[in-house]
Structure 1
Amino acid sequence: MDLASLPDFTVPLLASVLAGGLIGFEREWRGRAAGFRTHILVCLASALLMTAAVAQGAWSFDALPGTQIVSDPTRMAHGVLTGIGFLCAGVIFRAGFSIHGLTTAASLWITAAIGLLFGAGLFALAAAGTVLTVTALVILRLVSQRLPQKSVVDAEIVWRRDAADAEDAVEAALTALDADRRCDRFELIDNGERVRRTFRLKVAGAAALKALAARLRGVEGVTGYRFDPRDD
């Protein structure tokens, strides 16, 4: 393997950059931690390593007389997909009930897989994977936004412990919004002076959250609240 063989590697490497850029652009547009550059680097690194694995027969080394060297590029693929798991774990975090970053982690994982396909010379399969991935991230999201659905929201509400009617008023406000709400935690904070509870709610949109916020502000004893809509 020398400089003369570089033109043979140009197409898979450039294709991996293009595929990673297309997928990363959608994540960058959504403001995710792993965006344009990260996806390009993941796809390019996968393509580089797989190209090197496929071309093992051209590596410069002296084989022992009478030996036969058999290369197995799939071992490189296994290593890359295992290693990318550590990077994917870095974009996943938990907030209340919700787990955020799963879609971004999945996009990084499939971007690595697409890079491996380009490196192995399976251009049609890699291109199809790129198109389907971008479709899933962009087109299907636009479709889901037009469907009637409710968003899941993590709600954290704090009130004074000495406010006797605060808890009942908070429960009533939440029941009016979502009768099937789920409670997560009960906590005493500030040396036992305040109660903090977290809930999982299903709401129809931002207007419902604004109405809930306005109602909570009118509850005597409520000192704070936080709403955290789930988003991938």
Structure 2
Amino acid sequence: MAEGEFLSTILRLTLALVAGGLVGLERSYHGRPAGFREHTLVCISSCMLMLLADYHVIHVAATTHRDGFLDPTRMAQGIMTGIGFLGAGAIVKEGFAIRGLTTAASIWMISAIGIMIGMGYYLAAGAATFATFNINYVFRLIEGRMRLEFYAHFHVRLARSEALSETDLRAVLTDCGCEPSGMSYGLVGEGRWFEYQALIKTHDKDNLHRLAERLSAKPCVCEFGIAPRGD
């Protein structure tokens, strides 16, 4: 490997480290399962594989006259396919909530950035890194200032002898700033409890805490659950 190629390799790997680290730090800061180290490793490994394909074409294919022996586009396709399995590992289902989708998308994106750096598309890779960081960090701040709708799966079990009527339960939900939809109900526990289930909507996550406190104070409530939907 010539000195120029060596310096180019070091430059590309360094840029991959910086890009992966920048996006990974934001994920680590927000306590996500795949953070600084994982994003950095994904970006560097993607860059290394594309460097392998690139230099193979330059050196091996040129000297053996075997065109396309290691196609860089196929290498990129293989990388993105493999990264899909890593992204799937970041997605976690907690009750009715699904978390980790943004982290999975970030892993897939940082792999693409590593591929671009490995192929020498520095400007595009820099723009993609800047965009990814802003989407994950700045857009989160924007969402925090927007009037958003939050959804949660809700169920409550009441003593059968003193169960609240649907009208009374809806009044409790409304007082706490929650709007129920798709209300269903029935007897459970061999007829010992009366259960309501619904999808509730609110514009303030704190309303879910108010609802929990309100239900906890009612003697007739035997059990309840509020499972916010994840992003």
TM-score normalized by structure 2? 0.83
Contact 1:166/1:221 (<8 A) preserved? no
Q: Which one-letter code corresponds to 1:69 in the other structure?
A: D
Contact 2:179/2:201 (<8 A) preserved? no
Residue by residue over 1:98-151, the C-alpha shift from the partner in whole angstroms, topping out at 9 and shown as x without a partner, is 322111110010010000000111111000000011111111111121122232
Gap change, CA 1:149 and 1:173, over 3 Å in 2: same
Contact 1:20/1:40 (<8 A) preserved? yes
Residue 228 of structure 2 corresponds to 229
Residue by residue over 1:32-72, the C-alpha shift from the partner in whole angstroms, topping out at 9 and shown as x without a partner, is 111111111111111111111111135568976xx532242
Question: 1:94 deviation in Å?
Answer: 2.6
Gap change, CA 1:33 and 1:194, over 3 Å in 2: farther
**Separation of aligned partners in 1, 2:93 and 2:186:** 18
Residue by residue over 1:162-181, the C-alpha shift from the partner in whole angstroms, topping out at 9 and shown as x without a partner, is 54337664443224433343
Matched, 1:141 2:132: no
Residue 69 of structure 1 corresponds to 67
Residue 13 of structure 2 corresponds to 13
3-state SS, counterpart of residue 55 of structure 1 = helix
Residue 85 of structure 1 corresponds to 84
**Separation of aligned partners in 1, 2:159 and 2:108:** 46
Residue 153 of structure 2 corresponds to 154
**Separation of aligned partners in 1, 2:229 and 2:40:** 27
Question: 1:217 deviation in Å?
Answer: 2.0
Question: 1:76 deviation in Å?
Answer: 0.6
Contact 2:180/2:198 (<8 A) preserved? no
Contact 2:157/2:194 (<8 A) preserved? yes
Q: Which moved more, 1:174-183 or 1:26-35?
A: 174-183
Q: Which moved more, 1:15-24 or 1:145-154?
A: 145-154
Q: Which one-letter code corresponds to 1:41 in the other structure?
A: L
Residue 220 of structure 1 corresponds to 219
Q: Which one-letter code corresponds to 1:226 in the other structure?
A: G
Alignment of 1:183-202 (within 5 A): 183=183, 193-194=192-193, 198-202=197-201
Contact 1:96/1:154 (<8 A) preserved? no
**Separation of aligned partners in 1, 2:50 and 2:111:** 10
Q: Which one-letter code corresponds to 1:26 in the other structure?
A: E
Residue 38 of structure 1 corresponds to 38
3-state SS, counterpart of residue 200 of structure 1 = strand
Gap change, CA 1:188 and 1:72, over 3 Å in 2: farther
- Consecutive unaligned residues in structure 1, runs of 5 or more: none
Contact 1:118/1:126 (<8 A) preserved? yes
Residue 29 of structure 1 corresponds to 29
Contact 1:159/1:196 (<8 A) preserved? yes
Question: 1:5 deviation in Å?
Answer: 4.5
Matched, 1:117 2:116: yes
Alignment of 1:176-187 (within 5 A): 176=175, 177-183=177-183
3-state SS, counterpart of residue 90 of structure 1 = helix
Question: 1:156 deviation in Å?
Answer: 4.0
TM-score normalized by structure 1? 0.83
Cα RMSD after superposing both structures:
3.0
